[in-house]
Amino acid sequence: MTTLTGTSVTSDPTYRVFQAIAGKYDRTNCLVSLGMHKKWQRKLVRKIRNIPHEYILDVACGTGALTEQLACLEGVHVTGIDPNDAMLAVAKKRHLKTKSRQGQRPECQAPLYKKGYAEDLPLEEESFQVVTVAYGLRNMADRSRALQQMYRVLKREGRLYVLEFSMQPEDAQKKRGRLFWLGVKGYIRYVLPLVGWLGTGERAAYDYLRDSVETFPHPRQIRDEMKEAGFNDVTYTRFFPGVAVLYTGVK
Protein backbone atom coordinates (compact mmCIF):
# COMPACT_ATOMS: atom_id res chain seq x y z
CA MET A 1 0.00 0.00 0.00
CA THR A 2 2.86 2.42 0.71
CA THR A 3 4.89 3.58 -2.25
CA LEU A 4 7.96 5.70 -2.88
CA THR A 5 6.16 9.01 -2.85
CA GLY A 6 3.51 7.99 -0.39
CA THR A 7 0.72 7.93 -3.00
CA SER A 8 -1.44 5.13 -1.73
CA VAL A 9 -5.01 4.07 -1.27
CA THR A 10 -5.03 5.53 2.23
CA SER A 11 -3.97 8.99 1.03
CA ASP A 12 -6.16 8.98 -2.08
CA PRO A 13 -9.52 10.72 -1.61
CA THR A 14 -10.69 9.54 -5.04
CA TYR A 15 -10.34 5.86 -4.19
CA ARG A 16 -13.64 5.65 -2.33
CA VAL A 17 -15.38 7.74 -5.00
CA PHE A 18 -14.50 5.42 -7.88
CA GLN A 19 -14.86 2.29 -5.77
CA ALA A 20 -18.48 3.34 -5.09
CA ILE A 21 -19.50 4.17 -8.65
CA ALA A 22 -17.45 1.66 -10.70
CA GLY A 23 -20.35 -0.66 -11.55
CA LYS A 24 -22.50 2.17 -12.93
CA TYR A 25 -19.71 4.45 -14.12
CA ASP A 26 -19.96 3.75 -17.87
CA ARG A 27 -23.71 4.06 -18.11
CA THR A 28 -23.85 7.19 -15.97
CA ASN A 29 -20.97 8.75 -17.91
CA CYS A 30 -22.98 8.37 -21.12
CA LEU A 31 -25.91 10.10 -19.47
CA VAL A 32 -23.97 13.03 -18.02
CA SER A 33 -21.86 13.66 -21.13
CA LEU A 34 -24.74 12.89 -23.53
CA GLY A 35 -22.41 10.36 -25.16
CA MET A 36 -19.90 13.07 -26.15
CA HIS A 37 -17.03 11.62 -24.08
CA LYS A 38 -16.96 8.54 -26.31
CA LYS A 39 -16.83 10.66 -29.44
CA TRP A 40 -13.83 12.56 -28.04
CA GLN A 41 -12.11 9.27 -27.15
CA ARG A 42 -12.62 8.02 -30.71
CA LYS A 43 -11.02 11.21 -32.05
CA LEU A 44 -8.01 10.55 -29.84
CA VAL A 45 -7.73 6.96 -31.10
CA ARG A 46 -7.84 8.21 -34.72
CA LYS A 47 -4.87 10.50 -34.01
CA ILE A 48 -2.85 7.65 -32.53
CA ARG A 49 -3.55 5.49 -35.59
CA ASN A 50 -1.32 7.84 -37.62
CA ILE A 51 1.80 7.71 -35.44
CA PRO A 52 4.07 4.86 -34.24
CA HIS A 53 2.02 3.11 -31.56
CA GLU A 54 3.18 -0.42 -30.98
CA TYR A 55 3.42 0.03 -27.20
CA ILE A 56 0.68 2.14 -25.59
CA LEU A 57 0.09 2.91 -21.93
CA ASP A 58 -3.36 4.13 -20.85
CA VAL A 59 -2.95 5.83 -17.46
CA ALA A 60 -6.01 6.16 -15.19
CA CYS A 61 -7.66 3.63 -17.48
CA GLY A 62 -10.64 3.18 -15.13
CA THR A 63 -13.16 0.77 -16.60
CA GLY A 64 -11.10 0.44 -19.78
CA ALA A 65 -13.38 2.36 -22.15
CA LEU A 66 -10.45 3.94 -24.01
CA THR A 67 -8.04 1.06 -23.35
CA GLU A 68 -10.25 -1.39 -25.26
CA GLN A 69 -10.45 0.93 -28.26
CA LEU A 70 -6.68 1.34 -28.28
CA ALA A 71 -6.25 -2.42 -28.14
CA CYS A 72 -8.04 -2.72 -31.49
CA LEU A 73 -5.37 -0.69 -33.31
CA GLU A 74 -3.30 -2.96 -35.50
CA GLY A 75 -0.30 -4.66 -33.92
CA VAL A 76 -0.47 -2.96 -30.53
CA HIS A 77 0.43 -4.00 -27.01
CA VAL A 78 -1.71 -1.97 -24.64
CA THR A 79 -1.27 -1.63 -20.91
CA GLY A 80 -3.97 0.01 -18.79
CA ILE A 81 -3.10 1.20 -15.30
CA ASP A 82 -5.34 2.47 -12.52
CA PRO A 83 -5.19 2.40 -8.72
CA ASN A 84 -8.84 1.47 -8.26
CA ASP A 85 -9.71 -2.20 -7.76
CA ALA A 86 -13.39 -1.87 -8.64
CA MET A 87 -12.72 0.13 -11.81
CA LEU A 88 -10.07 -2.41 -12.90
CA ALA A 89 -12.45 -5.30 -12.22
CA VAL A 90 -14.99 -3.72 -14.60
CA ALA A 91 -12.23 -3.18 -17.18
CA LYS A 92 -11.25 -6.84 -17.10
CA LYS A 93 -14.87 -7.96 -17.48
CA ARG A 94 -15.36 -5.47 -20.31
CA HIS A 95 -12.60 -7.16 -22.25
CA LEU A 96 -14.32 -10.54 -21.99
CA LYS A 97 -17.60 -9.01 -23.18
CA THR A 98 -15.91 -7.15 -26.04
CA LYS A 99 -14.12 -10.33 -27.05
CA SER A 100 -17.32 -12.32 -27.30
CA ARG A 101 -18.90 -9.57 -29.43
CA GLN A 102 -15.83 -9.23 -31.63
CA GLY A 103 -15.29 -12.80 -32.73
CA GLN A 104 -14.42 -11.51 -36.20
CA ARG A 105 -11.86 -8.94 -35.09
CA PRO A 106 -8.63 -10.79 -34.40
CA GLU A 107 -6.71 -7.50 -34.46
CA CYS A 108 -8.16 -6.60 -31.03
CA GLN A 109 -5.60 -7.60 -28.41
CA ALA A 110 -6.21 -8.22 -24.72
CA PRO A 111 -4.95 -5.20 -22.78
CA LEU A 112 -2.70 -5.90 -19.83
CA TYR A 113 -4.30 -4.32 -16.75
CA LYS A 114 -2.15 -3.25 -13.84
CA LYS A 115 -2.84 -1.60 -10.53
CA GLY A 116 -0.87 1.55 -9.83
CA TYR A 117 -0.73 5.29 -9.38
CA ALA A 118 0.41 7.66 -12.10
CA GLU A 119 2.75 9.26 -9.59
CA ASP A 120 4.59 5.95 -9.13
CA LEU A 121 4.25 4.05 -12.38
CA PRO A 122 5.53 0.51 -11.74
CA LEU A 123 6.91 0.34 -15.28
CA GLU A 124 10.29 0.37 -17.02
CA GLU A 125 11.59 3.65 -18.36
CA GLU A 126 11.38 4.32 -22.09
CA SER A 127 9.00 1.45 -22.73
CA PHE A 128 6.03 3.07 -24.54
CA GLN A 129 5.62 5.05 -27.75
CA VAL A 130 2.33 6.53 -26.64
CA VAL A 131 0.89 7.38 -23.24
CA THR A 132 -2.76 8.39 -22.93
CA VAL A 133 -4.80 9.78 -20.04
CA ALA A 134 -8.53 10.30 -20.54
CA TYR A 135 -10.45 12.27 -17.90
CA GLY A 136 -7.88 11.18 -15.33
CA LEU A 137 -5.35 13.98 -14.90
CA ARG A 138 -7.67 16.07 -12.75
CA ASN A 139 -7.87 13.25 -10.19
CA MET A 140 -4.14 13.01 -9.61
CA ALA A 141 -2.96 14.27 -6.26
CA ASP A 142 0.51 15.23 -7.55
CA ARG A 143 0.07 16.23 -11.18
CA SER A 144 3.64 17.34 -11.66
CA ARG A 145 5.05 14.04 -10.38
CA ALA A 146 2.54 12.13 -12.53
CA LEU A 147 3.58 14.02 -15.68
CA GLN A 148 7.25 13.36 -14.90
CA GLN A 149 6.49 9.66 -14.57
CA MET A 150 4.68 9.59 -17.90
CA TYR A 151 7.71 11.29 -19.45
CA ARG A 152 9.99 8.69 -17.87
CA VAL A 153 8.15 5.68 -19.31
CA LEU A 154 7.90 7.16 -22.82
CA LYS A 155 10.49 6.28 -25.45
CA ARG A 156 12.30 9.12 -27.18
CA GLU A 157 9.98 10.82 -29.70
CA GLY A 158 7.11 9.18 -27.82
CA ARG A 159 3.92 11.15 -27.40
CA LEU A 160 1.65 11.95 -24.46
CA TYR A 161 -2.05 12.60 -25.09
CA VAL A 162 -4.17 13.97 -22.29
CA LEU A 163 -7.92 14.33 -22.76
CA GLU A 164 -9.61 16.40 -20.10
CA PHE A 165 -12.60 18.63 -19.50
CA SER A 166 -12.24 22.37 -19.27
CA MET A 167 -14.61 24.96 -17.94
CA GLN A 168 -12.09 27.71 -18.64
CA PRO A 169 -12.72 29.24 -22.06
CA GLU A 170 -10.14 31.05 -24.14
CA ASP A 171 -10.37 34.85 -23.98
CA ALA A 172 -11.92 35.04 -27.45
CA GLN A 173 -14.48 32.38 -26.53
CA LYS A 174 -15.39 34.28 -23.38
CA LYS A 175 -16.52 37.25 -25.44
CA ARG A 176 -18.25 35.39 -28.24
CA GLY A 177 -19.83 32.55 -26.32
CA ARG A 178 -20.79 34.06 -22.97
CA LEU A 179 -24.19 32.39 -22.93
CA PHE A 180 -22.78 29.02 -23.97
CA TRP A 181 -20.18 29.04 -21.16
CA LEU A 182 -22.81 30.13 -18.65
CA GLY A 183 -24.85 27.12 -19.78
CA VAL A 184 -21.82 24.82 -19.40
CA LYS A 185 -21.17 26.13 -15.89
CA GLY A 186 -24.81 25.62 -14.93
CA TYR A 187 -24.78 22.12 -16.40
CA ILE A 188 -21.65 21.06 -14.53
CA ARG A 189 -22.74 22.71 -11.29
CA TYR A 190 -26.34 21.49 -11.11
CA VAL A 191 -27.16 18.87 -13.75
CA LEU A 192 -24.04 16.65 -13.60
CA PRO A 193 -24.27 15.96 -9.84
CA LEU A 194 -28.02 15.39 -10.08
CA VAL A 195 -27.86 12.96 -13.02
CA GLY A 196 -24.85 11.23 -11.44
CA TRP A 197 -26.66 10.90 -8.14
CA LEU A 198 -29.81 9.53 -9.78
CA GLY A 199 -27.74 7.16 -11.97
CA THR A 200 -25.63 5.68 -9.19
CA GLY A 201 -27.27 6.60 -5.89
CA GLU A 202 -23.91 8.15 -4.92
CA ARG A 203 -24.30 11.85 -4.28
CA ALA A 204 -20.90 12.62 -2.77
CA ALA A 205 -19.08 10.97 -5.68
CA TYR A 206 -20.67 13.25 -8.24
CA ASP A 207 -20.22 16.31 -6.03
CA TYR A 208 -16.52 15.41 -6.06
CA LEU A 209 -16.48 14.97 -9.86
CA ARG A 210 -18.21 18.35 -10.29
CA ASP A 211 -15.63 20.03 -8.04
CA SER A 212 -12.73 18.35 -9.85
CA VAL A 213 -13.95 19.69 -13.21
CA GLU A 214 -14.72 23.17 -11.85
CA THR A 215 -11.34 23.60 -10.19
CA PHE A 216 -9.19 22.15 -12.97
CA PRO A 217 -6.81 24.89 -14.22
CA HIS A 218 -6.92 26.69 -17.55
CA PRO A 219 -5.40 24.66 -20.43
CA ARG A 220 -2.55 27.20 -20.61
CA GLN A 221 -1.43 26.12 -17.13
CA ILE A 222 -1.60 22.41 -17.98
CA ARG A 223 0.42 23.13 -21.13
CA ASP A 224 3.07 24.85 -18.96
CA GLU A 225 3.11 21.95 -16.49
CA MET A 226 3.70 19.51 -19.36
CA LYS A 227 6.62 21.65 -20.54
CA GLU A 228 8.03 21.71 -17.00
CA ALA A 229 7.86 17.91 -16.91
CA GLY A 230 10.14 17.87 -19.97
CA PHE A 231 7.73 17.62 -22.90
CA ASN A 232 8.41 19.45 -26.17
CA ASP A 233 6.02 20.73 -28.83
CA VAL A 234 3.23 20.93 -26.26
CA THR A 235 -0.06 22.04 -27.76
CA TYR A 236 -3.71 21.78 -26.93
CA THR A 237 -6.85 21.77 -29.03
CA ARG A 238 -10.47 21.92 -28.04
CA PHE A 239 -12.98 19.43 -29.31
CA PHE A 240 -16.46 20.60 -30.25
CA PRO A 241 -18.20 22.26 -28.42
CA GLY A 242 -15.07 23.38 -26.52
CA VAL A 243 -15.41 21.72 -23.12
CA ALA A 244 -13.05 18.84 -23.97
CA VAL A 245 -9.39 19.61 -24.47
CA LEU A 246 -6.75 17.35 -25.99
CA TYR A 247 -3.18 18.12 -24.92
CA THR A 248 -0.18 16.60 -26.67
CA GLY A 249 3.50 16.67 -25.95
CA VAL A 250 6.55 14.90 -27.34
CA LYS A 251 9.52 13.45 -25.44
Ligand X SMILES: C[S@@+](CC[C@H](N)C(=O)[O-])C[C@H]1O[C@@H](n2cnc3c(N)ncnc32)[C@H](O)[C@@H]1O
The answer to whether residue 135 forms part of the interface with ligand X (CB under 6 A) is yes
User: 84 or 168: whose CB is closer to ligand X?
Assistant: 84
> Which span sits near ligand X by CB under 6 A: 113-121, 147-155, 187-195, 200-208?
113-121
The answer to whether residue 206 forms part of the interface with ligand X (CB under 6 A) is no
If 0-12 CB within 10 Å is exposed, 13-18 middle and 19+ buried, where does residue 240 land? exposed
If 0-12 CB within 10 Å is exposed, 13-18 middle and 19+ buried, where does residue 47 land? middle
The answer to whether residue 90 forms part of the interface with ligand X (CB under 6 A) is no
The answer to whether residue 225 forms part of the interface with ligand X (CB under 6 A) is no
Q: Which of 117, 128, 208, 247 binds ligand X (CB under 6 A)?
A: 117
User: 136 or 219: whose CB is closer to ligand X?
Assistant: 136
> Which span sits near ligand X by CB under 6 A: 69-77, 139-147, 183-191, 233-241?
139-147
Considering only residues 64 to 83 of the shown chain, the ones binding ligand X according to CB under 6 A are 65-66, 82-83
Closest approach, Cβ 213 to ligand X, in A, equals 10
- Cα 78 to Cα 69, 75, 127: the distances in Å are 10, 10, 11
Distant-in-sequence, close-in-space partners of 98: CB < 8 Å, separation ≥ 6:
68, 108
Closest approach, Cβ 100 to ligand X, in A, equals 21
d(CA 227, CA 166): 19
DSSP-H helix ranges across the chain: 14-33, 36-49, 65-70, 85-101, 143-153, 171-176, 178-186, 192-200, 203-214, 219-228
The answer to whether residue 162 forms part of the interface with ligand X (CB under 6 A) is no
Nearest to 241 by CA among 143, 173, 175: 173
Q: Which of 32, 44, 57, 60 binds ligand X (CB under 6 A)?
A: 60
What are the residues binding ligand X (CB under 6 A)? 7, 14, 18, 59-62, 65-66, 82-84, 87, 117-119, 134-136, 139-141
